[in-house]
Amino acid sequence: MPGLIPRPTELAARAGTARLRLDGQSLYWLWISAILIMVALHAVHIRADFPNYSQWMDYSKYTDEGWYGKAAIDHYALGTWYLPGDFNAAIALPVLPVLEFAVFHFTGPGLTAARLLILAVFAANLLLVYFVVRMQATRWTALLAVTLLAANAFLYAFSRLAILEPLLVFFLLASWIIALRLPHKPAARYAALAVCGLAMCLMILTKTTAIFLLPTTLFLLWTAAGTTLPTRIKAVAAAAIAAAIPWSAYYYLFVRPHYLADYRYFFIANQWDHPAGFAAWASALWYALHGTLWISPALVFLFIAALALSLLFFRGLWRNPLVIASLIAIAGYLFFIAWRNSMQPRYYQVIAWPLAIILALAAEHLIRVLRQHRAAPSSRFLRFVPASAVAALAIVLVLSTAANLRLIAAWTRHPEYTWLNAANELTSYIDQHPNGNRLLLSISGDEITLITGLPAICDDFGPWDLPVRAAHYQPGWYAAWNDLDPGTESDLETLYKLEPVASFPAFDDPDRNLLVLYKLHPLTAGK
């Protein structure tokens, strides 16, 4: 019958469309495969040093893996999760130690297991980013955001350390997904709000700086809850109450009756001098903003350019609640960094994730605007701006990603094990030269326990004064980086004579590149 048999031209057009779809689907899976390869590179040489001679000088590579997993490490290495008078960070931040406790049950305590746990969290974060962006944009946009994060050399370096920031990002992104997908039915909605509140509680129990990120989740809940003020207030209040209940139960039933002194000390130990006066605040804010360049100068430049262009020409980007939430997250964490007045590179891991999300959404918005101007009559200038912006964005992203991948490839091909070797050699020396108690006193002692199992306590932090701790635990050894701190030396000399016996090179920091081991000789009565 006429009209039922397709013409040859129609058949050719349909074949071309099918071929295009097949090519697009193939590209999609090829892109995913490339991302999986990049993530897999993170696991190669997982016990290697944090990249030596990189631009990121951060003390977390000496201490934080041991400090914040200490309860789980000591439970298996020493038979107890809590050492009175020592730095027991798990009381304020219990989430990471609980997860490591579960993992160590199957693997035993060790650096590899701890780092692979956090690397698994990093991979889960990439998946969460995909779903977060996919709720607001195309799958290509979501893949772009994931690629910017998976191929970032800064995140590569820090995602291979068993520290807190990746886990904090995990609960943040999980709360965003729940807020963006808030159900309409009352029963399902309140169940989702309860889960969202639990995620916010776990954020705070992972790292207390989550307080500066909570407004982002509450904002998304506010926008997703409806158009009436009472409905929005109820949703935000329900999530806040759901977060407060488990946190209050943890604090009032566990911390306050048993470990209040350790809990308070945690915040005292993390107290820094805040900026005083306008000039100090301006300087702190400037350095906090400048620190974002650690993530990637190219990405930060594109981020600023995208925001400027969107304000001038493409304001539709600002109607996306995910863009606003991401900006609030960046601003909140930058405020924390400036307020704390301590620009540690590891803090900027948290900023990298919303920054990549905004860049991906801005790229999609620019392309959409470019298509609109091509389809509708407009001035040459209005057509030129999005076209040139898209071209510049693509070029810079490709060049930046290639540079990051070259760095990652170089670190993968040439791993260094100076810290691992130093910890093993120090432990071996102690075992071969017994000196009473095998216990080590050192600021990096918990890190060494994680690597070798050598029992240790911290000399720099703890609610008890150092002479009291030393008298109580009676360590036989002390390890310092490069030089003895005068205050520490005077404290220890009230109880011991310090004899330097060995040194072990590690890392690249000129102030901490030599781990010096001292034998502690107890002073006799009256001396």
**77-81, 368-372, 441-445 — which is least confidently predicted?**
368-372
The per-residue pLDDT for 313 is 72
The per-residue pLDDT for 374 is 61
Phi/psi region, residue 85 (left: phi>0; alpha: psi -120 to 50; beta: rest), is: left
List pLDDT tens digits, range 221-248: 999 998 889 999 999 999 999 999 999 9
Contact criterion met (CB below 8 Å) for 482 and 506: no
Query: Domains plus CATH for the chain?
Result: 92-413 (no CATH), 418-522 (3.40.190)
Residue 252: how many CB atoms within 10 A of its CB?
Answer: 10
List pLDDT tens digits, range 160-172: 999 999 999 999 9
| Region 45-56 average pLDDT | 94
The per-residue pLDDT for 32 is 94
- Which residue from 124, 147, 527 is spatially nearest to 299, judged by alpha carbons? 147
List pLDDT tens digits, range 262-284: 999 999 988 777 788 888 888 98
| Region 119-128 average pLDDT | 98
The per-residue pLDDT for 360 is 94
| Region 137-162 average pLDDT | 95
Q: What is the DSSP annotation of 97-161?
A: HHHHHHHHHHH-S-HHHHHHHHHHHHHHHHHHHHHHHHTTS-HHHHHHHHHHHHT-HHHHHHHTS
Helix, strand counts (H, E) of the chain: 22, 5
Residue 384 has pLDDT above 70, yes or no: no
- Neighbouring-strand partners of residue 481: 515
Cα distances (angstroms) measured from residue 420 to each of 112, 135, 190, 466: 11, 43, 49, 27
List pLDDT tens digits, range 150-160: 999 999 999 99
The per-residue pLDDT for 2 is 47
